[in-house]
Structure 1
Amino acid sequence: MMEDKQSAGPCASTTKPVVADVHKKITAAFTAFDYESNNTVDVREIGTIIYSLGCFPTQADLHDIIAEVEEDNTGFIALDKFLPVMTKVLLEHKFPPIPEDQLLQAFEVLDKEKKGYLVPEVLTHYLTQEGELFTQEEMDEMLTAFTDHQKNLVYYKDLISQLAADPGI
């Protein structure tokens, strides 16, 4: 029976479970930031939510998504507005992550001595001063999640494996 599911092509009977799974994943990511438990999140959390779902839009694309789902410039986004937009993004595989080998090459360029890690200050400098800029809030969140706090280092291979796309969608 397992072989039948794996070899089945896209059809109406397999679309509903896929959409339901996508909805569960989006809802779980969203509710992790719904601190008031009222099906809304602060607009500033949307980028983190979208990144956690394995999508990596540019800042311009992120602003477009926010403009589409934000409640009358209130600074809050409701799950019922976010869910259909993000479902479409995930099902259409928009904003895919950069392949792991390219990320590794980029980090290795920054790690001139090839030590396998960067100090948070160096990573912060590059990601807030060069290319598609991270905000300080985004940097703080990333460093909180990915810094080895005992050694105060960011082991970028660990970071890359955490950022790898979820093959479930």
Structure 2
Amino acid sequence: MAANTQSAEVEKKIRAAFEAFDYQSNSTVDVREIGTIIYSLGRFPSQADLHNFIAEVEEEEDQTGYIHLDRFLPAMTRVLMEQMFPPISEDVLLQAFEVLDEEHKGFLDPDDLSQFMMEEGEAFTQEEMDEMLTALTDHETNLIYSKDLLNHLIMDPEM
């Protein structure tokens, strides 16, 4: 894939991820959504790396708590093109899913996942869970399938 074509594809994916959280359609997102956007693009920075990234893209002058697409897009394009912030391997994700899927059914109930994610480790808020479940739950069966989860969390290695 040519560099310009690859860069255009990367920018397209970044825009789509950003726009999913641009609730007011004004090319800005709440700074608290930046981690979720980065995760949705298949990159998993440490908390320190995430903090540094936010500091890089946040408006220094006014620090409104919002990030503008014009500042996010070039910084995130660089992250993806230079393969910064390591992705999580499919094997590790599958192992984590299987821990929760004790009966090896290949799917999880959203309520069970929500309960686990809000009680264990660095707990998610209800708002964070609602956003994640909306993106991951099969709307016909109301279940979260391992294959869908993996496809959502693993980016094309060409990026």
TM-score for both structures, normalised by structure 1 = 0.75
Aligned AA (2:151): S
Gap runs ≥5 in structure 2: none
Give the Å deviation of 1:68. 2.3
Aligned AA (2:37): I
Q: What secondary structure sits across from 1:148 in the alignment?
A: coil
Where in structure 2 are the equivalents of 1:69-108 lying within 5 Å?
Answer: 69-71=57-59, 72-108=62-98
Q: Deviations over 1:33-71 (max 9, x none)?
A: 334343222223322322232212234432332232222
Aligned AA (2:132): M
2:32 alignment partner in structure 1: 44
Alpha-carbon distance in structure 2 between the residues aligned to 1:37 and 1:153 = 30
Q: Is the 8 A contact 2:43 2:88 kept in 1?
A: no
Number of matched pairs? 157
Where in structure 2 are the equivalents of 1:104-115 lying within 5 Å?
Answer: 104-115=94-105
Aligned AA (2:33): E
Q: What secondary structure sits across from 2:104 in the alignment?
A: coil
Alpha-carbon distance in structure 2 between the residues aligned to 1:100 and 1:51 = 14
Structure-2 change in CA distance of 1:151 and 1:32 (3 Å): closer
Q: Is the 8 A contact 2:27 2:68 kept in 1?
A: yes
Q: Is the 8 A contact 1:40 1:76 kept in 2?
A: yes
Q: Is the 8 A contact 2:19 2:27 kept in 1?
A: yes
Q: What secondary structure sits across from 1:115 in the alignment?
A: coil
Give the Å deviation of 1:150. 4.8
Alpha-carbon distance in structure 2 between the residues aligned to 1:121 and 1:60 = 31
Gap runs ≥5 in structure 1: 1-5, 7-13
Q: Deviations over 1:91-142 (max 9, x none)?
A: 2212232111221111111222222222222212322332344333221111
Q: Is the 8 A contact 2:108 2:144 kept in 1?
A: yes
Quick check: which has more Rg, 1 or 2?
1
Q: Is the 8 A contact 2:110 2:142 kept in 1?
A: yes
2:143 alignment partner in structure 1: 153
Q: Is the 8 A contact 2:41 2:153 kept in 1?
A: no
Higher relative contact order (CA 8 A, sep 6+): 2
Q: Is the 8 A contact 2:106 2:145 kept in 1?
A: yes
Residue 50 of structure 2 is aligned to residue 65 of structure 1: no
Structure-2 change in CA distance of 1:59 and 1:156 (3 Å): farther
Aligned AA (2:136): F
RMSD of aligned residue pairs (Cα, Å): 2.5
Q: Is the 8 A contact 1:59 1:132 kept in 2?
A: no
Identity rate, percent: 66
Aligned AA (1:130): E
Q: Is the 8 A contact 1:120 1:152 kept in 2?
A: yes
- Large movers: runs of 4+ above 6 Å: none
